[in-house]
Amino acid sequence: MASKATIEDRDTITPVYKDDDILAAAARLAGEDMCSIADLTSGEVRATLKLGHDVKRNPREYRHALDAKQMVLMFEKASLRTRLAFETGINTMGGNAIFVDQTSSPLGEREAIADIARNVERWVDVIVLRTYAHDTITEMAANSRVPVINALSDFEHPCQALADFMTLEEHFGSAAGLNFTYVGDGNNVCHSLMLTGAQLGANVTVATPRGYSPDIEIVTKAREIGEANGCELRLLQDPQAAVEGADAVYTDVCVSMGFEHESTKRAPIFRPFQVNDALMQKAAQRAVFMHCLPARRNAEVTDAVLDGPQSIVFDQAENRMHAQKALLLLLLGGLANVPSFQ
């Protein structure tokens, strides 16, 4: 836990002052949706992370940035980090969070999604969704006049990826040129990491079992973005080769929410992809270990790695709040209320 002195020290650091990249992103993104990391340009991803770092260093600068703004979170899936990071984030910037539990009644079941959007947009300033179907998020965005944020769908987890690469920037100074390896299921988290890595100039390697590769549409998009930013994306089926020389090794559960019925089938398939001490030894000496959490201890990752000196999983978790605060500031025009941006 950060000491009082550490928190006070953060507040004394000189804030970003009228940063051109952040201002350009704020001008373009105000009122926009964020359903996918691909909704942001490479410059906007960099600006979001730059703003996230400043929000973290200088929280007092932003404490009235979203005064009276109302945010609704409508979640079909359980959540710890995503919910608390959004709620504490907007609360510490003067706004308010309203949570609507949809775990027993998926969006669109009781009422058409378009009708929900046309109601909710009259009461709140931003809609945050955590859903099973990605189409639920895009349909809400298509029918809402207020910004819609993807807080996780079966296809992407963009808020997680923003926090993850913010954490990498803290540890390495920049993501550009880093060798980032993801080992495990080619799932929603993997998709957003591939896109974000490409936008920031990181070389991304993904190792998955046969039949569990990431979606080809995301692969194609990530490669297009990566080519423009001078980095590459590799897809492998050998975790040993994938981790060789990696600066960051990332994994996730092999059974995502909604796929619990496949647990017995997947367990033996993913066993060779477990991140353990032997696998981490193949990475670069300075390598860090990453996981989006919650982790299934001693399944996709051993306790020795998860709790070891290379693990930065709780830094990632902390940065969920700061990255999401930055995103809210950009989508809701909050920088107009921040002294250092006036």
Per-residue model confidence as pLDDT tens digits over 63-99: 999 999 999 999 999 999 999 999 999 999 999 999 9
Task: Give catalytic status of residue 160 as yes or no.
Answer: yes
Q: From the CA atom positions of the chain, what is the Rg in Å?
A: 19
Q: Do 125 and 332 touch, CB atoms closer than 8 A? A: yes
Catalytic residue among 19, 54, 102, 160: 160
Q: Do 81 and 69 touch, CB atoms closer than 8 A? A: no
pLDDT (average), residues 220-249: 98
Question: Which residue(s) pair with 75 in the sheet?
Answer: 101, 130
Token pair 């020795």: residue: 304
Of the listed ranges 183-187, 257-261, 266-270, 281-285, the one predicted with least confidence: 257-261
Catalytic residue among 46, 81, 291, 320: 320
Catalytic residue among 46, 134, 157, 191: 157
Catalytic residue among 292, 316, 322, 324: 292
- pLDDT at residue 5 tops 70: no
Task: Give catalytic status of residue 320 as yes or no.
Answer: yes
pLDDT (average), residues 297-303: 97
Q: What is the pLDDT of residue 340?
A: 84
Q: Is the pTM of this model over 0.95?
A: no
Tell how strand 126-130 and strand 70-75 pair up: parallel
Mean pLDDT, the chain, as a whole number? 94
- pLDDT at residue 106 tops 70: yes
- pLDDT at residue 8 tops 60: no
Task: Give catalytic status of residue 54 as yes or no.
Answer: no
pLDDT (average), residues 223-245: 98
Q: What is the pLDDT of residue 16?
A: 66
When pLDDT is cut at 50, 70 and 90, the band that residue 196 belongs to is very high
Task: Give catalytic status of residue 292 as yes or no.
Answer: yes
Span 290-299, pLDDT tens digits: 999 999 999 9
Span 29-60, pLDDT tens digits: 999 999 999 999 999 999 999 999 999 999 99
- pLDDT at residue 264 tops 70: yes
Q: Give residue limits of the domains in the chain.
A: 15-156+319-333, 160-317
Q: What is the pLDDT of residue 76?
A: 98
Q: What is the pLDDT of residue 15?
A: 56
Q: What percent of the chain has pLDDT over 90?
A: 89
Q: What percent of the chain has pLDDT over 70?
A: 93
Catalytic residue among 33, 199, 252, 254: 252
Q: Can you tell me the distance from the alpha carbon of 179 to that of 321, in angstroms, rounded to the nearest whole number? A: 25
Q: What sections of 281-339 are H helices per DSSP?
A: 303-306, 313-331
Task: Give catalytic status of residue 35 as yes or no.
Answer: no
Of the listed ranges 153-167, 194-208, 214-228, 257-271, the one predicted with least confidence: 257-271
Q: What is the pLDDT of residue 179?
A: 98
pLDDT (average), residues 223-237: 98
Which of the two residues, 128 and 12, has the higher pLDDT score?
128
Q: Which CATH number fits domain 15-156+319-333: 3.40.50.1370, 3.90.1150.10, 3.90.700.10, 3.40.50.170?
A: 3.40.50.1370
Q: Give 83's contacts (C-beta < 8 A, 6+ positions apart).
A: 73, 75, 99, 130
From start to end of 19-133, where are the E strands?
Answer: 70-75, 96-101, 126-130
Q: What is the pLDDT of residue 257?
A: 62
List Cα–Cα distances, 125 to 70, 98, 286, 333, in angstroms: 5, 11, 43, 11
Q: What is the pLDDT of residue 262?
A: 75
Question: Which residue(s) pair with 301 in the sheet?
Answer: 275, 297
**Angle, CA of 287, 293 and 183, to the nearest 5°:** 50
Q: What is the CATH architecture of 160-317?
A: 3-Layer(aba) Sandwich (3.40)
Catalytic residue among 53, 130, 191, 322: 130
